[in-house]
């Protein structure tokens, strides 16, 4: 399992009631699972919220392994957070932060494991339509989310590929050999994405407006 699938999960049809639930209600469920734990900020409430979230995932027939896997990266981050908070004399604060990170990860899987990405993006666009009164384009917001959703797996996949390549060359312990190629790939991917968006005419209205403002300025 690659880093992207391990962290966020991938949609696989199961026919469960959770899968058939409208995407808007899934976003509401995501908020109900995470926001109270963040507000209460106590270890026992966050732990209980994690248990409830896992029960929802199991009820969604996603499989125990796909529902609970966190990966080595998340484990390392969690340990570092607790260690730093322990050095500051706030061990329980670190525990709560880590619990809420795990909760957010599991709650996100309620969406990603039971809903195709296009439906997730369409749901965001629908939720943002009331913002048109503030001259906010919901389609642009949905596009930004779609680009982010597509970019994260690509970048995580780059980490996997570079890790395997450096390990094969016996230089895995060299941070420069590991990080530099990932940064180069990330920049190249960003340029390619920007060129693809420009080729489809996205952002042209903003450029025309800027040109018009410039020509009208005395």
Per residue in 39-71, pLDDT tens? 999 999 999 999 999 999 888 888 777 778 776
**Average pLDDT of the chain, as a whole number:** 78
What integer pLDDT is reported at residue 203 of this predicted model?
A: 53
CA dihedral 209, 212, 213, 218 (to 10 degrees): 180
- Is 143 found in the same domain as 96? no
Q: What does the alpha-carbon distance between residue 176 and residue 184 come to, in Å, rounded to a whole number?
A: 12
**Could you tell me if 16 and 103 lie in one domain?**
yes
pLDDT digits (tens, 9 = 90+) for 136-186: 787 777 777 777 666 666 666 677 677 777 777 766 556 666 677 777 777
Instruction: For residue 22, give its domain range.
Output: 1-115
Identify whether residues 121 and 155 lie together within a single domain: yes
70-127 tens-digit pLDDT: 766 678 788 889 999 999 999 999 999 999 999 998 998 888 888 888 888 888 888 8
- The pLDDT score that the predictor gives to residue 211 is 36
Q: Are 95 and 152 found together in one domain?
A: no
Identify whether residues 95 and 141 lie together within a single domain: no
The pTM (predicted TM-score) of the whole model is: 0.68
Residues 210 and 111 in one domain: no
Domain boundary among 67, 99, 115: 115
- Rounded mean pLDDT of 18-39? 92
DSSP string, 127-184: HHGGGGGGT--HHHHHHHHHHHHHHHHHHHHHHHHHHHHHHHTT-TT-HHHHHHHHHH
Per-residue pLDDT, averaged over 201-211, amounts to 47
Rounded CA gap, 45 and 35, in Å? Answer: 11
Tell whether 100 and 141 lie within a shared domain.
no
Alpha-carbon distance of 5 to 62, in angstroms, equals 13
């Amino acid at each position: 399992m690659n880093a992207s699938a391990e962290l966020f999960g991938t949609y696989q049809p199961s026919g469960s009631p959770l899968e058939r639930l409208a995407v808007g209600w899934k976003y509401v469920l995501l908020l109900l699972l995470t926001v109270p734990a963040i507000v209460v900020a106590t270890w026992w409430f966050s732990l209980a919220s994690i248990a409830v979230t896992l029960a929802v995932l199991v009820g969604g027939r996603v499989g125990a392994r796909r529902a609970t896997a966190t990966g080595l990266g998340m484990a390392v981050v969690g340990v570092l957070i607790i260690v730093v908070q322990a050095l500051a004399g706030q061990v329980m604060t670190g525990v709560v932060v880590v619990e809420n990170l795990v909760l957010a990860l599991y709650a996100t899987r309620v969406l990603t494991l039971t809903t195709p990405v296009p439906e997730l993006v369409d749901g965001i666009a629908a939720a943002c339509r009331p913002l048109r009164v503030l001259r906010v384009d919901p389609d642009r917001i949905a596009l930004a989310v779609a680009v982010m959703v597509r970019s994260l797996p690509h970048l995580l996949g780059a980490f996997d590929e570079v890790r395997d390549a450096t390990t094969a060359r016996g230089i895995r312990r060299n941070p420069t050999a590991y990080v530099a190629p990932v940064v180069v790939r990330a920049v190249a991917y960003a340029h390619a994405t920007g060129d693809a968006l420009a080729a489809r005419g996205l952002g042209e209205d903003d450029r025309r407006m800027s040109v018009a403002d410039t020509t009208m300025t005395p």
